[in-house]
Each structure stands twice: as structure tokens, then as C-alpha cells.
């Protein structure tokens, strides 16, 4: 993703761990990655609220592929 940053600056980072039983643990969740995870389960209220929060605040701009 082009964040418009200089190459010397580190990219934003989210760490993700998927467990055998299907649980997903996330650390340092960025708005962009919240939008990705929401696509895995649109019924997940927790992730949905985080993704929506990012979008409604304007931090994460909805792209065409984010829309249903």
C-alpha cells in the first residue's frame, strides 16, 4: 500500500496470530488491517466496530474493494 511516506520511515505494523481453533489474535491493529479482518467475518461485532470507527473518523478511507 502506498502510504505516501518516505522509504526511510517504517511502515505501520500489525501482528496477527491465527490459532488452530480459528481464533485470531491481533496486536497493534491499524485501521487498514481492521478493514481487512472485517471482511473475514462481517458479523463479528468487535471487529466491525473497530473498522467502522476508523472509517467514520476518516482515518481509513473506504476503497472500492472495501465495499460489499
Partner 1 sequence: MRARAVRAALADCQLCVHRCGVNRLAGERGPCGAGLESRFFSLQTEVSDELELIPTFAITFSGCDLRCPFCITAPPSWQADLGQRLSAAEVAHRAMQALEQGARTIMFLGGEPTIHLATVLDVISLLPDSARLIWKTNGRCTAEARRWLEGLIEGWVVDFKFGNPDCSRRLVGDSGYMTAVQETLVWAAEHSDLVVRHLVMPGHVACCWQPVAAWLAERLPGVKVNLRTGFWPARMMAGFPELQRFVEPEEAQQASRIATQYQLRLIS
Interacting residues toward partner 1 by CB under 8 A: 10, 12-13, 15, 17, 19, 23, 25-31, 34, 46, 49-51, 53-54, 57-60
Cα dihedral sign for 9, 2, 58, 13? negative
Angstrom distance (rounded) from CA 9 to CA 65: 27
Shortest distance, position 68 Cβ to partner 1, whole Å: 20
Shortest distance, position 55 Cβ to partner 1, whole Å: 9
Helix (H) or strand (E) segment spanning residue 26: strand 24-27
Choice between 4 and 67, CB closer to partner 1: 4
Amino acid at each position: 500500500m502506498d502510504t505516501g511516506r518516505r522509504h526511510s520511515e517504517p511502515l505501520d505494523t500489525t501482528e496477527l496470530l491465527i490459532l488452530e481453533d480459528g481464533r485470531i489474535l491481533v496486536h497493534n491493529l491499524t485501521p487498514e488491517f481492521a478493514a481487512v479482518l472485517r471482511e473475514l467475518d462481517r458479523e463479528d461485532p468487535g471487529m466491525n466496530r473497530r473498522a467502522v470507527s476508523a472509517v467514520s473518523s476518516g482515518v481509513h478511507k473506504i476503497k472500492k474493494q472495501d465495499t460489499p
